[in-house]
Amino acid sequence: MMQVFWITIITIILIYQLLPNLIARHFDPRVLRHFPAQGNQIALTFDDGPHPVYTPELLDLLRDQGIHATFFLVAENAQAHPEIVKRMAKEGHAIGLHSLNHRSFWLETPKQTRLDFEKSIRIFQELEIEPIGFRPPWGTFNALTRHYACKSGLPIFLWSRNAKDWKIKTQPEDIVSRISQNLAVGEIIVLHDAGGNPKAPEHTIEALGIALPQLKKFFNFVPLTKGDECRELDPTPVS
């Protein structure tokens, strides 16, 4: 009996978590790691915000450099700092969803996954923000993540380049190297303006102050836009 129990548990994990995550991260062409660039375009993206201190500092830097980016926001953080969200939109940055409260979808039941999207979309509607897409925390999926993202009308964006800047031990020079070396057109760079280790965004902002003036000599930074990669048979909205 105990053996049957554990076989059942392992089977559920494989079907609900591991296999969907593997397929979405590595094989599903509808999960975007690059974007269809025109000319020398690349995309700079930020996760986990907004943060009341670091995000305004980052917005100042992007404004001074004349660069537009995409912010994948944790909905509860956005709800707590609506003035920062409004500034993002006013200054021409794209805004996407990064879940309700940054809980891994590996840990969410089907009902929790549905509610995660329902509550997040409701918050974005209250803020009068239409998200251009969705990025799951840590890039993790369960069997229903993509389904509910699509029912919410949100294409899924991962990344082609990860600076690993959420770690405080990642120094500014490491970040500069990771986002600059052999950079190619159509790449999506992921950085963080919140979350991770305390004060880690300080390294991110310092690194961008070094890297952006050089990179913009060769690349045009553009915000991501909502495409038609996300198609579902059921068009009924999630909320």
Q: Which residues are known catalytic residues?
A: 47, 192
Q: How many CB atoms lie within 10 A of CB 50?
A: 27
Element (H, E) at 22: helix 19-26
CA angle 136, 239, 128 (to 5 degrees): 75
CA distances for 238 relative to 142, 228, 229, angstroms: 17, 17, 18
Query: Which one-letter DSSP state was computed for residue 4?
Result: H
Query: Which one-letter DSSP state was computed for residue 181?
Result: T
For residues 93 and 60, is the Cβ–Cβ distance under 8 A? no
Q: How many CB atoms lie within 10 A of CB 186?
A: 15
d(CA 112, CA 190): 26
List helix spans (H) across 127-194.
145-151, 172-180
Terminal Cα distance for the chain, rounded: 41
d(CA 126, CA 151): 19
Q: Is 226 exposed, middle or buried (0-12, 13-18, 19+ CB in 10 A)?
A: middle
